[in-house]
């Protein structure tokens, strides 16, 4: 029978000893979480929220103190070695695990041996990963001579050599420039779609979570205080994306055409500015501008605003969850 949920955590608690103290710090506090097969799942929270500890428990690197759980059907207590052998973890810094004295290809060859990939499959799989991640032109380069984005691709390539069904990505675009970050996000979507790999990732960027993740869990002080789609989190926040357009007075027909767009929740013109509240700026901004231009409205400036991850996070934790 196929496993529908690749990860099931129930009432997981993990405490750390505090140095030179009898007290213990609770890193995970009664955490329950299910992650579906084939989804991209986001884990969000500030430093110290428990994200890394939870990933380590789910990936078999750390044993919980209380609770039960399975990853890919393996018990997190009894089968942690099997879990580690069937999932991949990419650290937030791409250079972790990369040997700068080896070329890009040699790094992959080294890890193919570490992963005990069958000898007859190694070259074929390495070639596949170099082409899949668009690293072929860099295969004979030293890692430090290529961009941070391509080094992050190399780190992901290592994790895909054995095509484990679950990959953990810890802030995969941190410290990357916009172009490199966009390339890595496209890669995350690609490995999910083409290989059917379940991806669990941490991120601090709301647009990244919205673009990539089907669902996100917000963590605070070792607890999961909310778990839902980003769209539902926005709705629960009751704050919508907002566009402020400096333009001529729109006709009644133009305003009616805009309010007829299903995602529009408010539309008001005052003092030379049209303010539109809506869901998902990125998908609908162009349509709104087309409506205005189609009705002969002259536009001089467009400004956008959307609830940030911080807005959603602060609202969620201050309200005790949504």
Residue 49 has pLDDT above 90, yes or no: no
Give the model's pLDDT for residue 322. 45
DSSP code string of 164-191: -SEEEEESTTTT--HHHHHHHHHHHHHH
Within-domain flag for 52: yes
Q: Given the structure tokens 């566009």, which residue do they identify?
A: 243
Within-domain flag for 104: yes
Query: Percentage of the chain with pLDDT > 70?
Result: 91
Write out pLDDT tens, residues 131-171: 988 899 999 999 999 988 888 889 888 888 888 999 999 88
Q: Given the structure tokens 């972790």, which residue do they identify?
A: 96
Give the model's pLDDT for residue 167. 94
Split at pLDDT 50, 70, 90, the class of 258 is: very high
End-to-end distance of the chain based on CA atoms, in angstroms? 34
Residue 165 domain boundaries: 5-233
Split at pLDDT 50, 70, 90, the class of 6 is: very high
Give the model's pLDDT for residue 235. 65
Q: What integer is the mean pLDDT of 161-183?
A: 85
CB atoms near residue 88 (< 10 Å): 22
Q: Given the structure tokens 């997981």, which residue do they identify?
A: 12
Q: Are strands 241-247 and 66-71 parallel, antiparallel or unpaired?
A: unpaired
CB atoms near residue 68 (< 10 Å): 14
Say if residue 15 is in the same domain as residue 152.
yes
Number of domains in the chain: 2
Confirm if 41 and 213 have CB atoms less than 8 A apart.
Answer: yes
Split at pLDDT 50, 70, 90, the class of 247 is: very high
Give the model's pLDDT for residue 1. 38
* Domain final residue pick, 204, 233, 262: 233
Query: Percentage of the chain with pLDDT > 90?
Result: 52
Within-domain flag for 283: yes
Say if residue 185 is in the same domain as residue 37.
yes
Give the model's pLDDT for residue 307. 62
Say if residue 216 is in the same domain as residue 292.
no
What b/e readout covers 224-240, taking b as 16+ CB neighbours within 10 angstroms? bbbbbebeebbebbeeb
Higher confidence at residue 105 or residue 183? 105
Give the model's pLDDT for residue 279. 76
- Identify the CATH number of the domain in which residue 250 sits: 3.30.70.1560
């Amino acid at each position: 029978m196929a496993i529908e949920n690749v990860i099931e955590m129930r009432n997981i608690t993990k405490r750390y000893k505090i140095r030179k103290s009898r007290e213990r710090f609770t890193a995970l506090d009664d955490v329950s979480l299910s992650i579906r097969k084939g989804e991209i799942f986001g884990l969000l929270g500030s430093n110290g929220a428990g994200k890394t500890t939870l990933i380590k428990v789910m990936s078999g690197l750390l044993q919980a103190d209380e609770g039960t759980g399975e990853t890919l059907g393996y018990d997190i207590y009894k089968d942690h070695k099997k879990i580690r052998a069937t999932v991949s973890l990419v650290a937030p810094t791409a250079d972790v695990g990369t040997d700068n004295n080896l070329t890009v290809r040699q790094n992959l060859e080294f890890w193919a041996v570490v992963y005990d990939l069958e000898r007859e499959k190694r070259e074929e799989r390495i070639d596949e990963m170099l082409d899949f991640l668009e690293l072929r032109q860099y295969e004979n380069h030293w890692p430090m001579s290529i961009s941070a984005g391509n080094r992050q691709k190399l780190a992901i390539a290592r994790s895909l050599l054995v095509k484990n069904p679950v990959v953990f990505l810890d802030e995969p675009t941190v410290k990357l420039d916009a172009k490199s970050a966009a390339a890595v996000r496209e890669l995350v979507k690609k490995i999910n779609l083409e290989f059917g790999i379940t991806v669990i990732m941490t991120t601090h960027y709301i647009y990244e979570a919205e673009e990539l993740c089907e669902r996100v869990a917000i963590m605070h002080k070792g607890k999961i205080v909310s778990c839902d789609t980003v769209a539902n989190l926005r709705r629960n926040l009751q704050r919508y994306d907002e566009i402020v357009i400096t333009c001529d007075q729109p006709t009644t027909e133009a305003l009616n055409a805009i309010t007829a767009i299903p995602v529009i929740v408010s539309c008001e013109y005052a003092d030379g500015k049209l303010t539109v509240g809506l869901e998902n700026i990125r998908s609908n901004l162009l349509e709104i501008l087309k409506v205005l231009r189609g009705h002969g409205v002259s536009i001089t400036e467009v400004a956008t605003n959307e609830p940030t991850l911080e807005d959603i996070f602060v609202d969620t934790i201050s309200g005790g969850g949504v």
